[in-house]
Structures are given as structure tokens and as C-alpha cells.
Structure 1
């Protein structure tokens, strides 16, 4: 047995880091509240203001706003003048905390923390008994995911994502058949349908709630070239039907991603293309040591993506299934050629441009 020598300096540094983590965890909750109550958006438009003025402008209770401001000041988000008792959100910080900062609004991402924490008890039970936590237990997860993807994927669609596939924009303008599998509330697909009226768009998702939202939004936009339907991707049984199939961050949390990828292969026409967006990571933990948000990805996986897959008797690949596993499974599904690409300023995602021949 190897005997370790206790390093006091190392221990004290680790203890200090723990307090930093506790503060950051607390601030993430306050960030979520600041986003959901639009306090960040309100303060971005205010001159130096008292807590009462901030609360009045936001239409909120002053006592709660004052305590929130205390967290924001001591956490370094907001500056405070004790002489005038006024608060200011610096414009440099507002550039990452407000809705007008889209696609750089990081405050909305903080919403995942309370959402995931809401299922802690169920996940802990799974540590002892196995199994998983189903989608139905996650309040607001799809709502937050829709807002997040609306900021990241939708805003990058035309300038960055579509150009990854040569000739795709031109084909969409001329008119092709498109399927988005795991479409969620349909923001990406509705955006495409609105901009390419000659193409025909279909969105499938497992969730009745998100499909109802997607259909409502499509009707409100008077989109006649799009349809949304509840469909389990693992039971999809269509052949040679689509010129383009897309999945945006949807494969890794499927119960049976192997079956889903084979179904996509079958549904795609021989000269079609499958565009898969998924998490940029390695399948091996040692390959993620330098990943800037690896702990975040493994936590999201444990608390959502892996556990929902296991809840339905699935493979439980998890968020960090990685490039190696993804390429292997695409080949096993029958795809002959895969081009792995990334877009500028997006360290989180990879784009697999996949062909049947």
C-alpha cells in the first residue's frame, strides 16, 4: 500500500477552492433569478439606482430585490456606491447577462442549475437502485432548453451552420424535404420554414408538450410548409423520404441511439445528407481534462441526459459520449462518409455532415 504524505499547502488551497465553488454555486442561482425576473435586462437600461428604484422599474418586491442585489454586488456582478446607495450593472457585464446580448446571454444557462437540482432526490435513489429519472420529472427543462437552443442554434443557422453543407442553402431555396428529429418546441425548424417557403419541413419529438408548443408557434406564424408530430425516434419507420435530416443536441440522450441512427439512415434518400449537431468532447475522460466546461457536461449528463435514457431502459450514453463513440455508431448505422466540422466561437458543439454513399 502506498503511503501519502499530507501536504498542508495543497490542503489549504483545496479548501479555498471549495469556498469559491460554494460562492459560484450560489451566484448561479441568483443569475437564474436575475434572468427569469428580467432584473438584468431592467438594470441594463437604468442609470445608477437605489434598490427601490430597481424594484419599481422591474415591477418586483423591493426587499427581495435588495437581497438579490447584495449577492450581485458581493459576487462582482453589480457595482455599488455606498454614499448614494445606488447600484449599476456595468455595460461590459450586461453584454453577457441580458436578452439583448443574444447569442451571448449566459444568464439563461444558469437556469439549468435549479432545474437539475429539483431531481436530486430521484437521482440519488438511482445511485443505489439503478434505473433513471424520466422526462416527466424535469419541470421547465424543455422550456430552458428551447430558450438556450433558440439563442445558440437558431442564431447561427444561416451564417454558420447551413454553409457547412455545400449547396444546402441553394437546395432549400429550390425546395427539398426536411426532417428535424427531436425538434423540441420547433424553433430551428420554424425559422427554416419561414425562410425557405418552397421546402417542406417535418418535426418529430417524443414530448407532447413541446409538440403542442411547436404547432401553436407554427400556426401563429401562418407557416403552411411545416408539420409537427409526436413520434418516438426509436420507432420511426420511414424509407427514402427526406433530402435533409437534422438533429440538434438530440442523439446522446436517446434511449436507443443506435436504433435511432439506423432509422435516420433508412429515412434519408440515397443522395441526402444527415446533419447531426452534438457535444464536442472525447469519449474518454482523459481526453476531456482540458475541456473548458467538462465538469458542467458530466453533471448535465448525470442529472439529465444519462438518467433519462436509463429511465426508458436505454443505453445511457450521456452527454459526453464523445467523438469516438459518435463516429463509431454512425458507421454502424450504415453511413459511408462523415465530415466532422465546427463553427467559429462554438467550442461546445461538433457538426457531423453525414452521407449514405
Structure 2
């Protein structure tokens, strides 16, 4: 890549573009390895060298396909091979990156989004056309809640009560004493369950519009014997007025930017929050202007996820504000203020690349 201020040459761009294309193909194969159980098999076999047959048999897969997949992994320096024995191994330092809920990284979970996005590729092409559909229904994205649960669980399990809540001492003390908590857009309920387990004196409500996700959360709560958490399937924009001024703490993570009518929902959240309550909005950390996100690999990933999921599910609904994943700090702050919130701080939670907007109600 050219140095800052220098003009990029065609050769430099070709090299950079070639690397980008190669990484795209390798990412797809890596995702296949995660979802097929191949990495799980390699981990189960530990770091000892194994034959193709041993790996295939452990994973319960066809040997010939496994051999081809291993070719990708060896060429990409993800799986090691002994040139004398032609046996394979996954080195110990790489293992945590492919373990669900690992404290190391959530990159493996992110990769599993690729086949989901591939499944809507042709339909997204139609959405781009001027006379095409507005967007895509959430139902078009098979197994999306499962992917998001894998993606968010690492941070929730390793940082929620260890770092995040303690960063707000006043909220932590209230949770220990007993308050009413709303986990908006709870998905399969990983955060709701952690709240309920960690703060038994508090009451937790997990709210999501996906019945599949809500049913999953209910089952997990039942398995854990938790009686201080309930899961509700409802559109947040339609929260009853009976909820007005009843919630002490509202938590959302990777939710608000997906909402078609985020402006109305933020108004509803302000309405149900107690006058002295706190609203934690965790959302991707970026800037609103494209020019301020330039030459940023992480944000290019966010824009891709937005293009293939967040934006089309939002635009599917008439009158959508169409925020997209990268609506950015500037627009997010504007929306929060318009909904009656005061943004007290914007910080990065420990272990996360997201932004935490800690908000309270404006004093009238």
C-alpha cells in the first residue's frame, strides 16, 4: 500500500486487491470448517499430527472433501502439515480462535455469517434495483439468531459482570439490591440470563420480536431454574403505556441500528425508563461520514454486514429510517438527544470494539 500522501500505483493496487480476493475465498472455506465440525475435530484430536482419515472419521465427514478443505487450510497457514508424514495438526495457540465462547476472539463466529449472507445474495441484488423490493424480511436469514448468539456470547460471558457493569458502580449496586432490567432485542437471551444469574434480587425482562429466539431463551431459563427472568415476544415500538416509568435499567447490544423505526423505539424507551434510570446503548463504533471511516479494515467489515443484513431488514418496513450498522457516533448522539436522552458518556467497554452510549433522561 502507498504511504500516506503518495499516489497508489496500479501494481500496488493489484497486489492489495489480489490479497483481498484470496482472503475472501479462504474465509468462506474457514467458515465451512467451523460449521461442519472440522475445527472441532482437530481440537478434539489435540495438537498431535493426524491423517486425513483420522480427521474425517472424528468429524463424521467424507474423507475426500476433508482432504480438499485441509488443502485450503494448509495453503493459508491455518492448519500445519508435516511434509515428511503428510499429517496435519492445529497448533495450540490457534485453537482458542475456533472455540465457541472463547475469551480470545469472536472472529470465528463472525465468519459463520458468510454463508447466511450468501443465501440472500440474489435477493439483495434485486433490492438494489430501483424497481426492486424495499428490503428483505428477517425470515430470509436462516439461523441468524444462532450466529448472533455465538458472536455475542464471548463478550457477555467474559466481560458483562466482570468489567462492564462494574464500570457503572451506581447501576451495579442497584442491581445487587434489586431493580427492573430490560434487555431490548435480547435475541436468544444470553445477556438476560447472565443478568438474572448474577443479580438474583433483580427482575429481568428479555424482549425480542423473534418468537424462535424468545422460545430458546425461555428453555434456557427453565434449564437453569431461573425465576427472575421472563422473555417477551413483542415489537418494542408497541410497548404498553403500563410500562411507563417502570424500568430502572435498559440494555441494548447491536440492536438499535437494525430497527426500522429506531426513532420511535428510542422515544418508547425514554417513556418506560424511570426518571433516574439509565439506558446503555452498545452499538458499532464508527463515524457517520464515510470519509472518516476510510482505510479502516474493521469498518469495511461492518459496512459489509450492514449491506447484507442490517440495512435490508430495516428497509423492508415502510417508513424505515434505514440507519445501517455504521450510522456512527454523530447520528447516534443526535437520535438519542431527539428521543429525550442525555448522552452522559461514550466509551469502549473492556474487551469490545463497540461504543457504549450511557444515557439518562433529560431534565425537563
Q: Do both share a fold (TM > 0.5)?
A: yes
Aligned 8 A contact 2:155 2:351 in 1: no
Question: SS in structure 1 opposite 2:84?
Answer: coil
CA distance, structure 2, for counterparts of residue 346 and residue 220 of structure 1: 29
- In the alignment, does 2:18 pair up with 1:22? no
The alpha carbon displacement at 1:290 in A equals: 4.6
Query: Corresponding residue for 2:153?
Result: 150
Give 2:316's aligned residue: 311
Give, in whole Å, the separation in 1 of the partners of 2:125 and 2:143: 20
CA–CA distance in 2 between the matches of 1:92 and 1:326? 38
CA distance change for structure 1 residues 166 and 291 in 2, over 3 Å: closer, same or farther?
farther
- In the alignment, what sits opposite 1:163? 166
Q: Residue 306 of structure 2 aligns with which residue? A: 301
The answer as to 2:266 corresponding to 1:261 is: yes
Gaps of 5+ in 2: 1-6
Over residues 188-237 of structure 1, what are the superposed CA-to-partner deviations in whole Å (9 max), with x where a residue is unaligned? 10111012111101111011111111111111111111111111011123
5 Å matches for 1:57-96?
A: 57-96=58-97
Gaps (5+ residues) in structure 1? 1-6
The 3 A distance-change label for structure 1 pair 105 and 180 is closer
Whether the 8 Å contact between 1:41 and 1:99 is mirrored in structure 2 is no
Contact 2:270 2:339 in 1 (8 A): yes
What's the counterpart of residue 249 of structure 2? 244
Residue 293 of structure 1 aligns to a residue whose secondary structure is: helix
Measure the CA separation in 1 of the matches of 2:24 and 2:91: 22
| Deviation larger for 76-85 or 250-259 | 76-85
Partner of 1:336: 342
1:3 is matched with which residue? none
Counterpart contact for 2:282–2:355, Cα < 8 Å: yes
Query: Offset at 1:13?
Result: 2.8
Residue of structure 2 in register with 1:321 after alignment: 327
Matched position secondary structure for 2:312: helix
SS at match of 1:96: helix
Which of these residues, 208, 216, 220, is aligned with residue 219 of structure 2? 216
User: Are residues 1:174 and 2:177 paired?
Assistant: yes
Residues in 2 aligned to 1:41 and 1:215: alpha-carbon distance in whole angstroms: 28
Are positions 1:352 and 2:357 aligned together? yes
Tell me by how many angstroms 1:331 deviates: 0.6
Give SS of 2:341's match. Answer: coil
Moved more, 26-35 or 131-140: 26-35
- 1:17-59 CA deviation, whole Å, 9 max, x = no partner? 3332222111111211221233223323140111111122223
Q: TM-score, normalised by structure 2?
A: 0.92
Aligned CA distance change for structure 1 residues 337 and 320 (closer, same or farther; 3 Å):
closer
SS of the equivalent of 1:49 reads coil
Correspondence for 2:190 among 178, 187, 191? 187
- May I ask how many residue pairs the two structures share in their alignment? 349
1:87-144 deviation line (CA, Å, top 9, x unaligned): 1212222232233733424222111111111101111111102510110101111110
Query: Is this contact kept in 2: 1:165–1:353, CA < 8 A?
Result: no
Gap change, CA 1:49 and 1:100, over 3 Å in 2: farther
CA RMSD in angstroms comes to 1.7
Aligned to 2:56: 55
Instruction: Determine if contact 1:103/1:155 at 8 Å carries over to the other structure.
Output: no
Equivalent residues of 1:186, 1:214 under 8 A apart = yes
Distance of 2:143 and 2:343 partners within structure 1? 37
Q: Which moved more, 1:215-224 or 1:15-24?
A: 15-24
Conservation of the 8 A alpha-carbon contact between 1:280 and 1:323:
yes
Report what 1:4 is aligned to.
none
Which 4+ residue blocks in structure 1 deviate beyond 6 angstroms? none
Looking at structure 2, the residues matched to 110 and 169 of structure 1 have their Cα atoms a distance apart, in angstroms, of 34
For 2:268, what is the secondary structure of its paired residue? Answer: helix
How far apart are the structure 2 equivalents of 1:222 and 1:186? 15
Q: What are the Cα deviations for residues 154-192 of structure 1, in whole angstroms up to 9, with x where unaligned?
A: 321012211232222221111100111111111110111
CA distance in 2, matches of 1:203, 1:102: 24
